[in-house]
């Protein structure tokens, strides 16, 4: 479908909110264990408080396209023909991204959960939205989201324009009754009236609002890391441990089976695909949840799918909510790993605190009682030194502007990993691959 039609048709479905609201009432039925789920996440330590909205500083600025390692022609190709980049549009999108007036009660902006100081994440296991409502999922970075073939952990939105509408009216994020309510609020502000006129020659509309935000997001590129300088020929840009980690990544640890667009990917660190790698699934009884999803939510009702993903236990079904294919049960998008050091905690549910915990998960091949587990998950027999090397490699994917924050974060994670390794299971890591049950 051409992009413009895709946006239009999605906005049609976004405004059909009556349907979504009915389904949400039905969803309340399946929300029983929500508090329990959140409490078992690594970071939950009591009632969650809403964070103050970040003020845009230097890290919020559109990034240079002249970064070492940046795929220049692909970056330009990601700009859709109907939403050309202009400096004024990008600046308008930035203002909107940081403006809590887009939310129902003026307390939550996009940046509340996508804070530039944390590489556009929020440092929490699950995000907190209006009225301190806690969602089910970890906020991914917006850096390099422009390259993704699908947005969200389950890919329920295609483009950045499609994506940006959902949080505005998700009841646990920005809480507006619908997208038009946000547009009406913005359209009543004289400064925005002028800026939309100047950029689009029109009053604010839902289409232009989403286009401005997406234009800003397309400037949020993150390359120029020690790894990029190493690949560009500076042999000293990475230390020996990180170099060994890069080798392990592509061999014994076979991370590149998923975190690579081509065999030895030096750019994206994702196959842009979806996999069940055994995160979270063991806490849930998936089959009855899948039956509930089939009964309660049409897969074409995207606002209802969005609410299920953010607000109910059906969240664990992952990509299944979008495709309804059994093979997609509890599978999630492979995230790119750039700036991953800054974006802790990890995985779609934020259940792992450090890079060491994430590697321990893979090392033991966790989730083998799960019939939908990806065949590429198996015990890896990585030694402690090799685990350190993989962590050092991932830390080397930190962009220059996050160097200092990254050094502090690496020290924090390393110290924590010395005293806490909840996922470590050396016997399983060095054991055989167990038999997996059939679906």
Q: Give the footprint of ligand HEC on this chain (CB under 6 A).
A: 108, 110, 112-114, 127, 129, 135, 137, 139-140, 142, 145, 148, 151-153, 160, 163-164, 167-168, 173-174, 213, 253-255, 257-259, 275, 277, 279, 309-310, 332, 334-335, 340, 343, 346-348, 355, 358-359, 362, 374, 376-377, 390
What are the distances in angstroms from CA 34 to CA 136, 254, 341, 394? 8, 34, 28, 32
> Of the two residues 54 and 69, which places its CB atom closer to ligand HEC in the complex?
54
> Of the two residues 137 and 185, which places its CB atom closer to ligand HEC in the complex?
137
Provide the CA 8 distance to its chain's centre, in angstroms: 24
| Closest distance to ligand HEC from the beta carbon of 311 (Å) | 10
| Closest distance to ligand HEC from the beta carbon of 139 (Å) | 4
| Closest distance to ligand HEC from the beta carbon of 248 (Å) | 8
| Closest distance to ligand HEC from the beta carbon of 284 (Å) | 12
Q: How far apart are CA 393 and CA 337, in angstroms?
A: 10
Q: How far apart are CA 200 and CA 215, in angstroms?
A: 13
Provide the CA 91 distance to its chain's centre, in angstroms: 23
> Of the two residues 200 and 268, which places its CB atom closer to ligand HEC in the complex?
268
Q: How far apart are CA 147 and CA 154, in angstroms?
A: 16
> Of the two residues 279 and 317, which places its CB atom closer to ligand HEC in the complex?
279
> Of the two residues 151 and 206, which places its CB atom closer to ligand HEC in the complex?
151
| Closest distance to ligand HEC from the beta carbon of 136 (Å) | 8
Greatest C-alpha distance within the chain: 66
The SS3 of residue 389 is helix
Q: How far apart are CA 61 and CA 256, in angstroms?
A: 32
Contacts of 56 (CB under 8 A, 6+ apart): 94, 98, 111, 116
What are the distances in angstroms from CA 261 to CA 51, 140, 336? 36, 19, 10
> Of the two residues 70 and 102, which places its CB atom closer to ligand HEC in the complex?
102
What are the distances in angstroms from CA 425 to CA 253, 376, 419? 16, 19, 15
DSSP letter, residue 439: -
Q: How far apart are CA 120 and CA 212, in angstroms?
A: 18
Alpha helices (runs of H) in 317-354, residue ranges in sequence order: 320-323
Q: What is the CA radius of gyration of the chain?
A: 21
| Closest distance to ligand HEC from the beta carbon of 137 (Å) | 4
Q: Tally Cβ neighbours within 10 Å of residue 383.
A: 13
The SS3 of residue 128 is strand
Q: Is the C-alpha dihedral spanning 314, 278, 153, 59 positive or negative?
A: positive
| Closest distance to ligand HEC from the beta carbon of 351 (Å) | 8
> Of the two residues 116 and 129, which places its CB atom closer to ligand HEC in the complex?
129
> Of the two residues 207 and 309, which places its CB atom closer to ligand HEC in the complex?
309
| Closest distance to ligand HEC from the beta carbon of 174 (Å) | 5
Q: Are 167 and 127 in contact (CB under 8 A)?
A: no
| Closest distance to ligand HEC from the beta carbon of 368 (Å) | 13
Beta-ladder partners of 134: 128
> Of the two residues 70 and 394, which places its CB atom closer to ligand HEC in the complex?
394
> Of the two residues 176 and 292, which places its CB atom closer to ligand HEC in the complex?
176
Q: How far apart are CA 423 and CA 340, in angstroms?
A: 19
| Closest distance to ligand HEC from the beta carbon of 168 (Å) | 5
75-79's contacts with Cβ under 8 Å and 24+ in sequence apart are 75/146, 75/147, 75/221, 78/146, 78/147, 78/218, 79/218
> Of the two residues 233 and 314, which places its CB atom closer to ligand HEC in the complex?
314
| Closest distance to ligand HEC from the beta carbon of 47 (Å) | 16
């Amino acid at each position: 479908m051409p992009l413009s039609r895709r946006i239009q048709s999605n906005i049609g479905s976004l405004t059909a909110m009556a349907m979504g609201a009915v389904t949400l009432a039905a969803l309340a039925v399946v929300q029983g264990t929500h508090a329990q789920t959140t409490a078992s996440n690594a970071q939950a330590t009591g009632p969650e408080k809403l964070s103050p909205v970040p003020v845009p500083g230097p890290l919020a600025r559109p990034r240079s396209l002249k970064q070492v390692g940046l795929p220049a022609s692909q970056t330009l190709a990601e700009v859709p023909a109907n939403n050309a980049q202009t400096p004024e549009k990008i600046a308008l999108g930035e203002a909107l991204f940081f403006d809590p007036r887009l939310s129902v009660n003026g307390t939550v902006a996009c940046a509340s959960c996508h804070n530039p100081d944390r590489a556009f994440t929020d440092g929490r296991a699950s995000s907190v939205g209006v009225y301190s409502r806690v969602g089910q999922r970890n906020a991914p970075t917006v850096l390099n989201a422009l390259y993704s073939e699908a947005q969200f952990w389950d890919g329920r939105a295609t483009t950045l324009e499609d994506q940006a509408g959902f949080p505005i009216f998700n009841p646990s994020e920005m809480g507006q009754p619908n997208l038009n309510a946000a547009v009406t609020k913005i359209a009543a502000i004289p400064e925005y009236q002028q800026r939309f006129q100047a950029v689009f020659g029109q009053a604010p509309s839902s289409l232009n609002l989403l286009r401005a935000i997406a234009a800003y997001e397309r400037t949020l590129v993150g390359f120029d890391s020690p790894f990029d300088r190493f690949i560009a020929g500076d042999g000293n840009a990475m230390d020996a441990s990180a170099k060994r980690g890069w080798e392990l990544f592509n061999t014994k640890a076979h991370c590149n089976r998923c975190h690579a667009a081509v065999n030895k990917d030096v750019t994206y660190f994702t196959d842009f695909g979806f996999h069940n790698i055994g995160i979270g699934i063991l806490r849930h009884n998936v089959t009855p949840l899948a039956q509930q999803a089939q009964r309660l939510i049409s897969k074409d009702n995207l606002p209802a799918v969005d609410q299920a993903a953010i607000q109910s236990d059906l969240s664990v079904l992952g990509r299944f909510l979008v495709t309804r294919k059994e093979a997609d049960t509890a599978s999630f998008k492979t995230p790119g790993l750039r700036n991953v050091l800054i974006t802790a905690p990890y995985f779609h549910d934020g259940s792992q605190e450090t890079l060491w915990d994430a590697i321990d998960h893979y090392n033991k091949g966790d989730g083998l009682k799960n019939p939908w587990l990806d065949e590429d998950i198996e015990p890896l027999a990585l030694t402690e030194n090799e685990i350190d090397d993989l962590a050092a490699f991932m830390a080397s994917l930190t962009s220059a502007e996050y160097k200092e924050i990254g050094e502090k974060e690496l020290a924090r994670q390393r110290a924590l990993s010395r005293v806490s390794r909840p996922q470590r299971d050396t016997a399983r890591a060095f054991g055989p691959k167990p038999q997996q049950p059939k679906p």
